Amino acid sequence: MKTHQHLDSVYYWCTPCNNDFLAWHEAVLESDAEEITGILNFRLSNGFAVDNELHSFVVAHGSDTTALTHQWLIALHNDHWIDYATMYHHAVFAKRVKAIPKRGRIEKTLTDKPDTAAQKRRRSLQWDYAVSKCKLDSVQSSFDADVNFVSVVRRKENRNSIGESFPGIGKGKSQTLISKDINTAKELLLCEPG
């Protein structure tokens, strides 16, 4: 809910045993309990684990729709972020934050001097170039890509997707093209008229 917690659930390799194991397997948890005193506050299930706070949120909002639950979580994250940002800003204003000493290469990049006009202009041009290149790559990939009529039929079955691609070709026309062994837009362009 507030932090990125995770249960250590990847496969590990044990060199003396010459075998792999899961950190959340029951036998591993029992052997760890002999060495480590603690509480595993995750609810385990097949394929995922949920901590106590998220579990109580899901149980309390079990009758809500997925979209409403998503909106609640976004609002909670925004409130949490604003609280932390306010606390950190007050700490900076109260001069309770100590400066980190600059060393080596970091010292060259982190300076107290303001950027010159040339440096600002260069950074702005680099940003514009990156944005333009991203747009060009997106348009080029959409130009090079082929449209599969089977995917068009699937998208057109959903009423929210009507008119997004090929507004003149609906589900029926796409199915007719598929029945005539024309599966993609490039095949349609190469097809003989009539």
The pLDDT profile of the chain, 194 residues, written as one tens digit per residue, is 776 666 665 666 777 877 777 766 777 777 776 776 556 677 777 767 777 888 888 888 888 888 898 898 889 888 988 998 999 889 888 888 776 666 655 555 555 567 788 888 998 999 999 999 988 988 887 777 777 777 777 777 766 655 566 666 777 888 888 888 888 878 888 877 76
Nearest residue to 72 (alpha-carbon basis) of 60, 89, 85: 60
- What are 51's two structure tokens? 């901590």
> What is the SS3 assignment for 146?
coil
Q: For the whole prediction, is pTM greater than 0.75?
A: no
Cβ-Cβ contacts under 8 Å for 8 (sequence gap 6 or more):
23, 24
Nearest alpha carbon to residue 2 among 85, 73, 105: 73
Give the residue extent of every domain in the chain.
11-60, 62-98, 117-145, 149-190
Q: Are 29 and 35 in contact (CB under 8 A)?
A: no
| pLDDT confidence of residue 164 | 64
Q: What is the pLDDT of residue 185?
A: 78
Q: What is the pLDDT of residue 13?
A: 73
Residue 177 burial by Cβ neighbours in a 10 Å radius (0-12, 13-18, 19+): buried
SS3 39: coil
